[in-house]
A and B are shown apart, each in its own frame.
Chain A
């Protein structure tokens, strides 16, 4: 079955460390997205990529970095510059001709310890 796989489901990070969240899709979707979810604030866009080797900042990109070396993969690195990284992170993808057809992964819960 096609879908998006996010790993790990839970991630713990010590302050000052970088961590990378994985997002893989086998839907042959062109565009991929990273959202951050905090209580009472809904989902906010961190980064998105519409094509391999290209990506753009979303609304809250500071302290995060991404890469898009393969169509199937869009990893998100949470750097030590992100002051409040504890949150739930969701990855999504869409086909270029169906921008309304978002598919979401099951998310990664990141906690700073």
Chain B
């Protein structure tokens, strides 16, 4: 089965701190794409970062970076210098092989002033 697990239903940090969201996945595929999506209160799904499984280098987008551990099937998201606007639901997701986008349960992140 192709599954994604986010073990942290909720997290809360102070503004400017660094926070890491965890994600593990299960697949027998060797080629796949991994994603982190942000869903703010508007409920619009926003792509935060993407990682191709065949690339060993971890993806980075400004304050957002990932720690991709293929052997461990782990894909965590680190948010540096967190901002109030980072408050949102965060979903880990992946596309195993040629299949469809599979989502985790989500982590509700709150950035406190």
Please give the number of chain A residues whose Cβ is less than 8 angstroms from any Cβ of chain B in the complex.
19
A40 near B: Cβ within 8 Å? Answer: yes
Main secondary structure of the interface of B (DSSP, over half): loop
Residue contact A43 to B44, C-beta cutoff 8 Å: no
* Min distance, Cβ A43 to any Cβ of chain B, angstroms: 4
A84 near B: Cβ within 8 Å? Answer: no
- When A90-B45, A106-B44, A107-B43 are in contact, do A40 and B9 touch as well, CB less than 8 Å? yes
Most buried by A among B45, B91, B104: B45
Q: Name B's A-contacting residues (CB within 8 A).
A: 4, 6, 9, 33, 35, 42-45, 47, 50, 91, 93, 95, 98, 100-106
Give the docked Cα–Cα distance between A102 and B100 (Å): 10
Give the docked Cα–Cα distance between A28 and B35 (Å): 23
A41 near B: Cβ within 8 Å? Answer: yes
- When A88-B43, A90-B45 are in contact, do A100 and B100 touch as well, CB less than 8 Å? no
Residue contact B44 to A42, C-beta cutoff 8 Å: no
Residue contact A42 to B100, C-beta cutoff 8 Å: no
Give the docked Cα–Cα distance between A16 and B29 (Å): 42
A113 near B: Cβ within 8 Å? Answer: no
Residue contact B91 to A104, C-beta cutoff 8 Å: no
* Min distance, Cβ B86 to any Cβ of chain A, angstroms: 19
Q: A100-B95, A104-B44 are in contact. List 9 more A-B contacts (CB 8 A).
A: A40-B106, A41-B105, A42-B105, A42-B106, A43-B93, A43-B103, A48-B100, A100-B35, A102-B101
